[in-house]
Protein backbone atom coordinates (compact mmCIF):
# COMPACT_ATOMS: atom_id res chain seq x y z
CA UNK A 1 0.00 0.00 0.00
CA UNK A 2 1.12 3.55 -0.74
CA UNK A 3 0.90 5.71 2.36
CA UNK A 4 0.84 9.48 2.01
CA UNK A 5 1.18 11.55 5.15
CA UNK A 6 0.56 15.29 4.84
CA UNK A 7 1.69 17.58 7.66
CA UNK A 8 -0.55 20.61 8.00
CA UNK A 9 -0.39 23.20 10.77
CA UNK A 10 -2.46 26.38 10.94
CA UNK A 11 -3.93 25.70 7.49
CA UNK A 12 -0.43 25.50 5.94
CA UNK A 13 1.00 22.30 4.48
CA UNK A 14 4.62 22.14 5.58
CA UNK A 15 5.52 18.71 4.18
CA UNK A 16 4.35 15.43 2.77
CA UNK A 17 5.79 11.95 2.83
CA UNK A 18 4.96 9.08 0.50
CA UNK A 19 6.11 5.51 1.02
CA UNK A 20 5.36 1.99 -0.05
CA UNK A 21 4.09 0.36 -3.21
CA UNK A 22 0.50 -0.14 -4.27
CA UNK A 23 0.96 -3.76 -5.41
CA UNK A 24 -2.01 -3.22 -7.71
CA UNK A 25 -0.21 -4.95 -10.57
CA UNK A 26 3.23 -6.20 -11.56
CA UNK A 27 6.15 -3.78 -11.37
CA UNK A 28 6.10 -1.60 -14.48
CA UNK A 29 2.36 -2.10 -14.98
CA UNK A 30 1.06 -0.73 -11.68
CA UNK A 31 -1.29 2.11 -12.59
CA UNK A 32 -1.76 3.22 -8.98
CA UNK A 33 1.98 3.58 -8.35
CA UNK A 34 2.47 5.28 -11.69
CA UNK A 35 -0.38 7.71 -11.07
CA UNK A 36 0.70 8.59 -7.54
CA UNK A 37 4.31 9.05 -8.65
CA UNK A 38 3.36 11.21 -11.62
CA UNK A 39 1.10 13.41 -9.51
CA UNK A 40 3.60 13.90 -6.69
CA UNK A 41 6.71 14.41 -8.81
CA UNK A 42 4.81 16.63 -11.23
CA UNK A 43 3.60 18.81 -8.38
CA UNK A 44 7.06 19.12 -6.84
CA UNK A 45 8.56 19.97 -10.24
CA UNK A 46 5.82 22.56 -10.83
CA UNK A 47 6.43 24.13 -7.42
CA UNK A 48 10.15 24.42 -8.10
CA UNK A 49 9.72 25.72 -11.65
CA UNK A 50 6.85 28.15 -11.03
CA UNK A 51 7.80 29.54 -7.61
CA UNK A 52 11.58 29.28 -7.70
CA UNK A 53 11.77 27.64 -4.28
CA UNK A 54 13.84 24.57 -3.49
CA UNK A 55 12.04 22.28 -1.06
CA UNK A 56 14.07 19.81 0.96
CA UNK A 57 13.64 16.47 -0.82
CA UNK A 58 14.55 12.96 0.35
CA UNK A 59 13.82 9.98 -1.85
CA UNK A 60 14.87 6.39 -2.39
CA UNK A 61 14.33 3.71 -4.98
CA UNK A 62 12.18 1.81 -2.48
CA UNK A 63 9.23 4.14 -3.09
CA UNK A 64 10.01 6.73 -0.42
CA UNK A 65 9.58 10.47 -1.03
CA UNK A 66 9.62 13.23 1.58
CA UNK A 67 9.24 16.88 0.65
CA UNK A 68 9.55 19.71 3.18
CA UNK A 69 8.56 23.19 2.08
CA UNK A 70 10.61 26.07 3.48
CA UNK A 71 9.09 28.23 6.20
CA UNK A 72 9.29 32.00 6.11
CA UNK A 73 8.42 32.45 2.44
CA UNK A 74 6.91 35.73 1.37
CA UNK A 75 3.10 35.63 1.38
CA UNK A 76 2.65 35.48 -2.41
CA UNK A 77 5.16 32.66 -2.90
CA UNK A 78 3.74 30.68 0.01
CA UNK A 79 0.22 31.03 -1.43
CA UNK A 80 1.47 29.69 -4.77
CA UNK A 81 3.22 26.75 -3.10
CA UNK A 82 0.12 25.95 -1.07
CA UNK A 83 -2.15 26.08 -4.12
CA UNK A 84 0.08 23.71 -6.06
CA UNK A 85 0.52 21.23 -3.21
CA UNK A 86 -3.23 21.29 -2.52
CA UNK A 87 -3.81 20.54 -6.19
CA UNK A 88 -1.53 17.53 -5.79
CA UNK A 89 -3.57 16.37 -2.80
CA UNK A 90 -6.83 16.67 -4.76
CA UNK A 91 -5.35 14.45 -7.47
CA UNK A 92 -4.08 11.91 -4.92
CA UNK A 93 -7.50 11.87 -3.22
CA UNK A 94 -9.05 11.09 -6.60
CA UNK A 95 -6.76 8.08 -6.92
CA UNK A 96 -7.55 7.09 -3.32
CA UNK A 97 -11.30 7.33 -4.03
CA UNK A 98 -11.03 4.80 -6.87
CA UNK A 99 -8.24 2.60 -5.47
CA UNK A 100 -8.57 2.98 -1.70
CA UNK A 101 -7.20 -0.45 -0.91
CA UNK A 102 -3.89 0.52 -2.58
CA UNK A 103 -3.33 4.12 -1.40
CA UNK A 104 -4.12 5.89 1.89
CA UNK A 105 -3.77 9.61 2.61
CA UNK A 106 -3.58 10.89 6.19
CA UNK A 107 -3.16 14.34 7.66
CA UNK A 108 -1.22 15.19 10.81
CA UNK A 109 -0.61 18.43 12.64
List, for residues 46-55, the tens digit of each pLDDT value: 999 999 999 9
Higher-pLDDT residue of 99 and 29 is 99
3-state secondary structure of 78: helix
Could you give the CA distance from residue 75 to residue 20 in angstroms, rounded to a whole number? 34
How many structural domains are present in the chain? Answer: 1
User: Is 27 among the catalytic positions?
Assistant: no
Segments forming the whole domain that contains residue 63: 2-108
- How far, in whole angstroms, is CA 98 from its chain's centroid? 17
The residues, any chain, with a CB within 8 Å of residue 91's CB and separated by 6 or more, are: 39, 43
Higher-pLDDT residue of 29 and 79 is 79
Of 5, 7, 8, 21, the catalytic one is 21
3-state secondary structure of 14: strand
From 10, 1, 3, select the one nearest 109 (Cα to Cα). 10
Question: Could you read off the pLDDT of 8-28 as tens digits, one per residue?
Answer: 999 999 999 999 988 888 877
Of 13, 18, 33, 89, the catalytic one is 33
User: Is 42 among the catalytic positions?
Assistant: no
The CATH number of residue 41's host domain is 3.30.70.1490
Amino acid sequence: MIRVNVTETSNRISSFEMSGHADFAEHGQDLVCAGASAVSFGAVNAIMELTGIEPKIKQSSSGFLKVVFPAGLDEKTDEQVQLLVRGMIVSLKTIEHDYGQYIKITFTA
